Structure 1
């Protein structure tokens, strides 16, 4: 019986399981520990080892002087840590090379000029390799907790999604700014007219909240809070009017409440 044909994976589909990565690592501290192993082993050349922060050169020294470690456990520990650090360098290289390519392109470098630098044979190959490297940068940013497939199509799809979200956020910020230009004067007027309101404990509380957030209302979160407080004042004033059968004490206060009610219910 013939085996069913395996469905091809869409080039834009992220992997279902993120790969295991080294991620953040205190490389200098690990190099320091390996240096100590060599000092304990009385490595005669340890003074020639690069500084802890010079990761690449330090690893080259440790590789060339691995036989200086005579203790078997020390050899195993050092070799595993060297493997870990080389993997860390590999991950970081992808990330930083992707950033270098972005900066090169932003400064006007053509794909043809990157052919030799990326060790490929044609401009389109340079483009494709750059997109595969960009996947490492997108993975490093933990895009929605998923790993981005190393295909140009997958990277382009994620970049499109990122751009779409960024555009939506900018639209929301513009809408919030327009909303603020309408809401702030209404909220300020409620505070100015609070003496004309028939205040109780609840109305006083919400007016105090408005007074606290209004002077520095800039972020979308603060704007949402301000609108919530204005709605609460309108709600409590209306409740008190129904309970006592009378409206706010002054015409200015009644007008301020009506303006607030019209805005927050629109």
Structure 2
């Protein structure tokens, strides 16, 4: 019987593992807990322990004074040691995020990768670039806590940055379109009101068009503009219902037809339904 062959691990298998992170943490509360443990152990120097928000120096203190906890139970000693491990890991993650920002600022200031290499403790510009991309992964994970954790590889970061760039472009186009609609909203609504004699109105359409007319003179704030958009949308829907009910156009003049089409076009999607 032939001996079954053992498969060697894929070279990229380590890159495909999902990283585990500490993430958000109330670090000051953990430092406060460490302080409490040292006070309970009657650490004679505990008053010299740095403040709870001075995480790094507080960790240096509890490391130096770890022997003071020998008066406590084994469980308390284990608890303190685990807190220290967790806080150091938290600082490591935060350091990656802040170093990534420092590298980004350096590049924006015109610093070459060759000059960044020794500062990042690597030997070559290409290594500095790759390390910067790995640091960037931490920042991207921080900015999208609900997304799957990004692998710390240059390829994964480049893919994520490309995706984010496309998403931002879509958001910017939507924002530009919304701003354009807002700029056109007031004159378009005023145009529809001006040609209301060329519209067939029922009580519902007349009510909402009256609301539009009432809001127009004082429409300045974003809230007022949003209200105008809602009233105009309700007017358009009421007019469309008349058309469906009568099977005839509600606009009876060319000017009213153009005003109604312009009003329908300027509304945001959520106000057309």
Normalising to structure 2: TM-score of the pair? 0.76
Q: Note if contact 1:134-1:155 (Cα within 8 Å) is conserved in structure 2.
A: yes
2:76 maps to 1:71: no
Counterparts of 1:209 and 1:77, CA distance in 2: 65
Distance in 2 between residues matched to 1:130 and 1:32, nearest whole Å: 34
Query: Offset at 1:233?
Result: 3.9
Structure 2, unaligned runs of 5 or more = 267-273
2:211 is aligned with 1:208: yes
Residues 217, 223 of structure 1: 8 Å contact kept: no
The Cα RMSD (Å) is: 3.8
Q: Distance in 1 between matches of 2:53 and 2:125?
A: 36
Cα distance in structure 1, aligned partners of 2:156 and 2:28: 34
- Residue 224 of structure 1 deviates from its aligned partner by 7.6
Q: Which has the higher contact order (CA 8 A, sep 6+)?
A: 1
Alignment of 1:229-248 (within 5 A): 229-239=234-244, 242=246
Q: Residues 41, 114 of structure 1: CA spacing in aligned structure 2 closer, same or farther, 3 A cutoff? A: same
Residue 126 of structure 1 pairs with residue 128 of structure 2 = yes
Q: What are the equivalent positions in structure 2 for 1:77-88 lying under 5 Å apart? A: 77-88=79-90
Give the aligned length.
257
**Structure 1 runs not aligned, ≥5 long:** none
CA contact under 8 A between 2:209 and 2:232: conserved in structure 1? Answer: no
C-alpha offsets along residues 97-131 of structure 1, whole Å, 9 cap, x if unaligned?
Answer: 10111011111111111112111111111111001
Q: 3-state DSSP class of the match of 1:63?
A: helix
**Closer, same or farther: CA 182–109 of 1 in aligned 2, 3 Å:** same
Instruction: Tell whether the 8 Å contact from 1:27 to 1:85 is kept in structure 2 after alignment.
Output: yes
Q: Is the 8 A contact 1:112 1:123 kept in 2?
A: yes
- Offset at residue 157 of structure 1 (A): 1.4
- Aligned mates of 2:111, 2:188 — CA distance in 1: 53
- Contact conserved, 1:186 with 1:256, CA < 8 A, in 2? no
